[in-house]
Each structure stands twice: as structure tokens, then as C-alpha cells.
Structure 1
Amino acid sequence: MTAMKLQKLVYYSQAWHLVWEEEPLFTDRIEAWANGPVVPTLYQRHRQRWQLTGADDLGGDTTALTEAQRRTVDVILEHYGSKPANWLSELTHRESPWRDARSAAGLSDGERGNAEITHASMYEYYDGLTSTDAQDI
């Protein structure tokens, strides 16, 4: 998978885990970069690599996941895993957590920046979807 796709899947895992379990999946900061949400600590582990494999050391310990965390990741992979990286990036660009973080920081389209996408903004936006069109996620 591409590094960009991994970043978007991690973002959606965090966002939906916040909604479903009312707690973060992980504590690392997520930032609203020009190409969508990015976890900088994860980025540092795959920096300058386009394609990633299961053999790459990206940190983390899957055996430490709780059952609820594992369920979240599985559902995200099932729902978003077949989507191309660019599709996922464009989706995040249409959603308010990424847009609002960039807007609050005064960042224009394509401009580099490290505005934080807060847990509160993710929870508010994605929780709002649960009563509308995201019930099948």
C-alpha cells in the first residue's frame, strides 16, 4: 500500500474509534497537511518511501490492541481499504475536520502547514454522520 493510503486509513481509524468507543485509538497528533490528514510520528517512520509492505517497521504492536480497537481497524479496512489513496485524500478534503483545521491556521489549498486536527473536531463531525449516511460503516 502507499504511504498516503496508510495515513488516511490511520486517520479514519482514529476518527471512527473516537465515535464508537468515545476514546482515542492512539495518542499521536494528526495534522492537516496539504494532501490530507497525516500522523507526523508515523510519517517519520516511512518518510521518502512511496510504497510500504508488511515487512516495513512502522512502529506499533498489533498484539497490544484491545478487542474494540481491533474491531475498529477491521471495519475501517473493510470499508475504506479497497479505495485508492487519492480517493481517500479527496474524501478527507471534503470533510470539515481537515478543512476547518487548515482554515483556522490560515492555510490555503496546497500550502504546507501543520495545523492539528483535534479529537473534538473528528468526534463532532463523524458522530454527526452516524445519524445520516454513515450507518453502514
Structure 2
Amino acid sequence: MATVFDVAKYILEKTGEITVMKLQKLCFYSKAWGLVWDEEEMFPEHFEAWAGGAVSPALYDRHRGMFKVMTSTFPYGDSRNLTGPQKETVDHVLEFYGKYTAQQLSDINHQESPWIDARNGLPPTARSNEVITTASIAEYYSGIWNSEEA
């Protein structure tokens, strides 16, 4: 199974230098849409409902203190660990979400129920390390996908 680091590496190979906040959101959306389109977890690492949106603590630990990363400054992960369908999913995520800034992605994330529900009524700027469950991610994004196809 791939890891969040493998997905991050693949994203950076495709995008070049991006902010760590944007990398976090693109990894989150890769996991979310992988659950919908591939019907499996792309990687096992979880995301938490931080004030800035969904954040993988494991990924954060690797880029802590950095503002931007690129493949050369972020040597973790191996994109060859992703399957063809997983790469296709990430490519679609990049095609749709890649045009947004990090702040726009955070704002979008703040409007979605997996992040909102995990925070359980906390104000948007309050600190939280509540896990955004895989079930809530799959349910929410499956609902979006089904409503768009209808």
C-alpha cells in the first residue's frame, strides 16, 4: 500500500514547488476521491480537523517549519509505490483542485462536512486534533459524486 509520503512525492513531481498547506489539501482530496473512485484507501495515514483544514500529522511532521516544498526539499516517499489507478485519481485531483490557492483549498475544506463534523462545533480558528474518519470522508464525497452524476 502507498503512503501519504508517496502521494505527496507524486504530487510534487507533477506540480513542482507548492506550499505545504496546498500539499496537505491535495493529499487529503487524493485520499477522499480514491475512496470514491477506487473504492479503497489510497494510503493509511489519517487526517485531523485542524484550524487550517484537513492535515495529516504524519505529513506535517516531515515538513514542519517549511513554507514551500518541492521534490528536492522533500525527499520522502516514492511515487512508484502508487498503482496506475491511484495515479489517475491524483491526476484528476490535480486537474480539478490544482488551480486553487492553498487558502482557497482551506476555505473549501472548511465548508465540507467531514471537517465540520470532526470539529464538533468548535469555532473555525480553535485548535483541534480530532480525526476526520475515513467513513465520513467516503460518505460525503460519494454523496457529491452521486449528486453530480444524477
TM-score normalised according to structure 1 size: 0.92
- Alignment-derived partner of residue 127 in structure 2: 112
Deviation at 1:72, TM superposition (A): 0.7
Q: Root-mean-square deviation (CA), in Å?
A: 1.2
Q: Distance in 2 between matches of 1:58 and 1:87?
A: 26
Counterpart in the other structure of 1:63: 80
Q: Secondary structure at the match of 1:83?
A: coil
Structure 1 gap segments, 5+ residues each? none
Instruction: Tell me the matched-pair count.
Output: 132
Task: Show the 5 A alignment for 1:47-126.
Answer: 47-57=64-74, 59-103=76-120, 107-126=122-141
* Aligned-partner residue type, residue 123 of structure 2: S
Question: Could you give the per-residue CA deviations for residues 31-58 of structure 1, whole angstroms, max 9, x where no partner exists?
Answer: 0000000000100111011111221225
Residue 32 (structure 1) aligns with = 49
Q: State the distance in 1 between where 2:33 and 2:134 align.
A: 10
CA drift of 1:64 comes to: 1.1
Give runs of ≥4 in structure 1 deviating > 3 Å: none
Aligned residue for 2:65, secondary structure, equals: coil
Name the SS of the counterpart of 2:96 in structure 1: helix
Whole-Å separation in 2 of the counterparts to 1:109 and 1:17: 27
As a proportion of its length, which structure holds more strand? 2
TM-score, length of structure 2 as denominator length: 0.84
Q: Which range is displaced more, 15-24 or 55-64?
A: 55-64
Q: Which residue of 2 aligns with 1:7?
A: 24
Q: In structure 1, give the amino acid aligned to 2:58.
A: T
Identity of aligned residues (%): 48
User: SS where residue 37 of structure 1 aligns?
Assistant: strand
Q: Which amino acid aligns with 2:60?
A: Y
Task: Report the 3-state secondary structure (helix = DSSP H, G, I; strand = E; otherwise coil) of the residue aligned with 1:32.
Answer: strand
Q: List runs of 5+ in structure 2 lacking aligned partners.
A: 1-17
CA distance in 1, matches of 2:51, 2:94: 23
Bigger shift: 111-120 or 56-65? 56-65
